A and B are shown apart, each in its own frame.
Chain A
């Protein structure tokens, strides 16, 4: 490493140093903001500027976490919601991409179905809640179905758009080589849509959490969405705040996972 450092010019070292300072600065301010927010929240709650019954406070949130954990309840709720979200996310992404592929392959089907997909996209899926509960029962199945429903239409639309926007020149090239539709699919369309897939995954992270929490609002006996509804009903708003904060962390982690996947899949960029 040391030797490598020697070859670098003065300007280069200066530039690298500046870059490092910049990154450190951005991260320090980020962390400072978070810490400041937590302390300010706690302090303002202590001196009663913020109504801690309504908006809770960091210490009350921590206390709630400890209480729940001592009853062995917390992880159960977290895993319930996480499971519903991840399963819904995966089903919606895989199924949605497959449907988009079929629609790409069959142009007539695509033209016929287009307006229906657009309407389904605009429909607030929660409207179907009662039917879903009766059809799938008052359990996790309904919640996962809700998650899939919320996520899948957007997946179909954005993946199909990605497939259809494939570069015309590259398509022509493959045609000129005499490629079959299957070869065009595997050699061009799919690898070419990886960036689209990644951005769809990023959107889906958010949507699948909406789906699972919405599902738990309607029907559930456990999970973070359940805790939120329950907390609201018995006026334990600490519970609501705690669940929301945990949701923040989980959604952030899931997003980070997708970002990691992006780095692995699009090395060539």
Chain B
């Protein structure tokens, strides 16, 4: 697999009135095309900052390099960002919400709208196209948020604890949904989470962060059966021992 993203010596600090807070300290890793990478760490260790830096929303030190088919790319590729809460705009219908990034990027073309309509159809939301978000369940809303993220056909998806606001049952099924959609659409994704089992069930690679200022504690290639859904993977043989290892690392 070819490399899509390379992060070299990334450090991030925040300025407050009282002090400077160092969130991330000298992190390097790569993400390959089509890979699903999970970053885990304790709450408040600065996981989200890494995603913000990748999408260039905050200042950082270090290098973030993107590659395309021809090698090193000078432009940042299209990046789709999915947040903890769905953040659907309550005054827009589901379809209008899903098309929002197209409008922002001045890319509101017939083709693109058709693409979004297709996604809505494919992932069971076309009947709710003209409904408002408050008429949908939490799981459906999160699916709509994912379709909004996919609208611009991003080559990289950043998922910032996208399931943490859901109740535990919905969470597992939405996680399944989202995983399947991402795999079917052949996307590269970085998931940030504090939920160890969630990370093991979806990821090809897991990066474990230390407490703040965070650097990389360990990296694990996950070799569970890739054909299975995240829910089924939880029953795989290696799952429990991986969980134990990661739990041990996080709670040292």
Interface residues of A (CB under 8 A from B): 167, 169-170, 172-179, 183, 187-188, 191-192, 194, 266, 268-269
Interface residues of B (CB under 8 A from A): 55, 57, 79, 81, 83-85, 87, 89-92, 100-101, 103-105, 132, 134, 152
Most buried by B among A172, A176, A179, A194: A176
Alpha-carbon gap, A227 to B187, bound state (A): 74
Q: Which of A167, A176, A194, A268 contacts B81 (CB 8 A)?
A: A176
CB pair B89 A188 closer than 8 Å: yes
CB pair B101 A169 closer than 8 Å: no
CB pair A194 B100 closer than 8 Å: no
Given A191-B91, A268-B134; 6 other pairs, CB 8 A cutoff? A169-B83, A173-B81, A188-B89, A191-B89, A268-B91, A269-B134
Alpha-carbon gap, A203 to B85, bound state (A): 33
List B contacts of A187 (CB < 8 A).
Answer: 89, 100, 103-104
CB pair A268 B104 closer than 8 Å: no
The majority secondary structure among interface residues of chain A is helix
Chain A: CB-nearest residue to B131: A268
CB pair B89 A170 closer than 8 Å: yes
CB pair B87 A167 closer than 8 Å: yes
Alpha-carbon gap, A156 to B169, bound state (A): 46
Chain B nearest CB: distance from A244 CB in Å? 40
The 5 nearest A-B residue pairs measured at CB: A176-B81, A177-B104, A268-B91, A268-B132, A173-B87
List A contacts of B84 (CB < 8 A).
Answer: 169
Q: A187-B100, A191-B91 are in contact. Are A175 and B57 (CB under 8 A)?
A: yes
CB pair A169 B103 closer than 8 Å: no
List A contacts of B91 (CB < 8 A).
Answer: 191-192, 194, 266, 268
